[in-house]
Amino acid sequence: MTRTLVLASNNPGKLKEFNELLAPLGFAVRPQGDFAVPEAEEPHATFVENALAKARHAARLTGLPALADDSGVCVNALGGAPGVYSARFAGEPKSDQRNNEKLVQALAAHPDKSAYYYCVLVYVRSDNDPQPVIADGRWDGEIVAVPAGSNGFGYDPYFWLPGQGRTVAQLAPEEKHRWSHRGQALRALVEKLR
């Protein structure tokens, strides 16, 4: 029996990835836009609180189980910034180019360029689920001043993977899914849901 699961996002890449991994568990993942669910507010200072708020919002408005993620890049020399503010680091409207320019400029005087991508996934059975299922993943790298690659989005062209000798934007999509913070979190969530 297939159960419908609402994804608290309309991102087609996330939808495809989540469907591929959750279909064997009997879930059909549908984006919140299919149910006319507007984006939830993300007022919190932590990834887990924002993901939980988004999952509860989607579950409340659909009456279905929901899955949400919150993720971003955390830079050690900047005390973890931009963190939960990664998408809007350079302000509104959202702009990958301005975000990357601001990050490179903020790091210019710091010798430590280490950073990591972080992702939290939250699954709720209902909007008032007292035991949400939570999983996370972390992907370490460094921020570089010169972008490379055309795959991915956001900070990917500036996120260098020393072990790979290339940026995230230079990885094939299947490589990114295998190693990424979101891929790690999704595999951990699947194990918990089993």
Give, in order, the Cα–Cα distances in Å from 129 to each of 27, 61, 105, 149, 171. 18, 14, 43, 41, 37
Q: How far apart are the C-alpha atoms of 105 and 141, rounded to whole Å?
A: 18
Q: Report the alpha-carbon distance of residue 120 to residue 142 in Å, rounded.
A: 20
Question: Which alpha helices (DSSP H) does the chain contain, by range?
Answer: 12-22, 47-62, 96-107, 173-179, 181-193
Pull the structure tokens for residue 65: 């189980």
Q: Using the Cα atoms of residue 41, residue 44, residue 48 and residue 53 in order, give the sign of their dihedral.
A: negative
Instruction: Examine the residue annotation and report whether 96 is marked as an active-site residue of this protein.
Output: no
Bridge partner list, 3: 27
Active-site annotation holder among 34, 69, 70, 140: 70
List residues with catalytic annotation: 70
